[in-house]
Amino acid sequence: MQVETSDITPAMQVLKLATASWMASAVSAAAELGVADHLGSGARTVRELAEAVGAHEQTLYRLLRACADAGLFQESPGRTFALTEVGDALRSDSPHSLRNFARWVALPADRHTWDGLAKTVRTGQPAFVDVHGVEVWEHFRDNPEVAEIFDNAMSELSRQVIAPTVAAYDFSGFRRIVDVGGGHGTLLAQVLTAVPTARGVLFDQPEVIEGAGAPLEGAGVRDRAELVAGDFFQAVPADGDAYVLSNIIHDWDDEPSRQILTNIRNVMAPDARVLLIEAVLPDDTSPSLTVKLMDLDMLVISGGHQRSGAQFDALFQKVGLKLSRIVSGGLCSVVEATRA
């Protein structure tokens, strides 16, 4: 909610924070309707947009003017709207697109789960099962249309958030890179593009691997990548000299995380590296609001959490690994571990 004053009282500040979900819903609605796609070629009137997206004209105007005040669109006289640089990231074909991520956070699988946050804080148990009746991964299996939006959202996030991390870390010394839980292959495609001498293994659940590989094809590296289906709680492909897990460990509490890392420790080459790409919490009280909100999202969805460097170090020590360094790449970092 936009407050038109620089002197915000405590009550108005709380009001602004408490109504942040209203703005989030507006952004998600604009993403679901595909408004930005229809503004990609230039400004259009609300009437033209309403016809294009199949919306009620006056109601669409009310949505767009709120989004304009948030910086997504620019409103001109005559109820005409154009994309801003920020709004361009809602276009499906934008290289900066987060449209599917904006759609994902509006789905009941994510948004309704947050309704259970207070109960989760009281009990320590994730809200997802209480709200939806099943665990999140079972929900995805039973609702493939939700899983598809989630997978596309994670691929988008990988392109925008993980790319700077890949650029920050030197992968050039690796010959066989195993992307554990790698989804459609967005991250592996970036890494193999950066390291022309390396080969890769994309490893994920059978239902994910079945629809994976397009990013590898698009990057022209499919011939250097092997797609393998399996369950990382049972085993992972052997003989990698780099095991990359991008935003995987944060899905799980310590016990299942140790199982995943133990399976990697059992088959990795002696001089191999485990590379966790994660948003790392500070070890002190430094502000880190985005990461701390991500931590709450993990809490209510799966019971997982973001970790600090010290927490990663403790986790590694339990499975015969040791933290060697943390390489910052923006929001996410590469948390590197070796055999202890």
Active site residues: 250
Measured CA to CA, the distance from residue 146 to residue 128 in angstroms comes to 14
Q: b/e for 71-103, b at 16 or more Cβ within 10 A?
A: ebbebeeebbbebbeebbbbbeebeebbbbbbb
Measured CA to CA, the distance from residue 84 to residue 81 in angstroms comes to 10
**pTM across the whole model:** 0.89
Farthest-apart Cα atoms in the chain, separation:
67
What is the tens place of the pLDDT at every residue in 90-139? Answer: 999 999 999 999 999 999 999 999 999 999 999 999 999 999 999 999 99
pLDDT band at 8 (very low <50, low <70, confident <90, very high): confident
CA dihedral defined by 193, 194, 195, 201, rounded to 10 degrees? -50
Predicted local distance difference test score (pLDDT) of residue 6: 57
First to last CA, the chain: 50
pLDDT band at 260 (very low <50, low <70, confident <90, very high): very high
What is the tens place of the pLDDT at every residue in 142-194? Answer: 999 999 999 889 888 888 888 898 899 999 999 999 999 998 898 999 999 99
pLDDT at 2 over 60: no
Residue type, 208: V
What is the tens place of the pLDDT at every residue in 232-250? Answer: 999 999 999 999 999 999 9
